[in-house]
Amino acid sequence: MAYKRILLKLSGEALMGSRQYGIDPQRLSEYANEIKETVAQGIQVAIVIGGGNIFRGVAGASNGMDRVQGDHMGMLATVINGLALQSALENNGVATRLQSAIKINEVAEPFIRRRALRHLEKGRVVIFGGGTGNPYFTTDSAAVLRAIEIEADVILKGTRVDGIYSSDPEKDASASKYNDISFDDVLKKGLKVMDTTAFTLSQENELPIIVFDMNKKGNLKKIISGEPIGTTVS
């Protein structure tokens, strides 16, 4: 296997499936199956999910809401998504722990690094909810931070597109895909991979990022096996 411990970053929007908002049970079930197959291969899996399918702090702030309040609502949305994914995984027989960066002890453990590492070593999937616990930081930043803390080998960013392109492939038919690209080239070309804070943190800690299409069945398994799926930033 190419990796021993991974951090999988999923967007909240990915959980919507074909819906306009909320959680699509079918999509959730598909993701749970993919993650189960990965765990079955002996890979340690940690997950960070966004909350954009329920609430986006930035969108709330643009509509006149206090940004800090909006971001706290977004953090709670990530915990809701974490609970949903935890339920789907456990229905599939996968031992799972949800850890939250904000205290919410009735539904999730507090994030404690050593405890997270112990869960991973025991083969449990650990879902990190609540972002970083601070406003003004995205779940991309939370994903990179947690990946560094648990010493993950790679961040796998599951999206709707199959990698990084020279421009938005959904809008520009002539967009070309990169199979491998350096951190410096991403910055020079102004490509959008993650928000700048998260991306810089990943670069400084030499943590590679693979951007891939999570909605294509079997892609996660292929990446774990070392197949060149998506785009690798290193």
Q: Divide the 234 residues of the chain into consecutive groups of 10 and give the mean pLDDT of each group.
A: 95 91 95 97 97 85 88 96 98 98 97 98 98 96 98 95 89 92 94 93 97 95 94 96
Q: What is the CATH classification number for the domain harbouring 131? A: 3.40.1160.10
| Residue located via tokens 């999937």 | 125
Structural domain count of the chain: 1
Tell me, what's the pLDDT at 18?
87
Task: Give the rounded distance of the alpha carbon of 138 from its chain centre.
Answer: 11
Q: Among 192, 179, 191, which residue's Cα sits nearest to residue 232? A: 179
Residue numbers of the domain that contains 66: 5-233
Whether this prediction's pTM lies above 0.85 is answered by: yes
Q: Among 15, 11, 10, 8, which residue's Cα sits nearest to residue 43? A: 8
Tell me, what's the pLDDT at 149?
98
pLDDT digits (tens, 9 = 90+) for 157-174: 998 889 999 988 888 889
pLDDT digits (tens, 9 = 90+) for 1-17: 889 999 999 999 999 98
Q: Among 164, 149, 169, which residue's Cα sits nearest to residue 210? A: 164
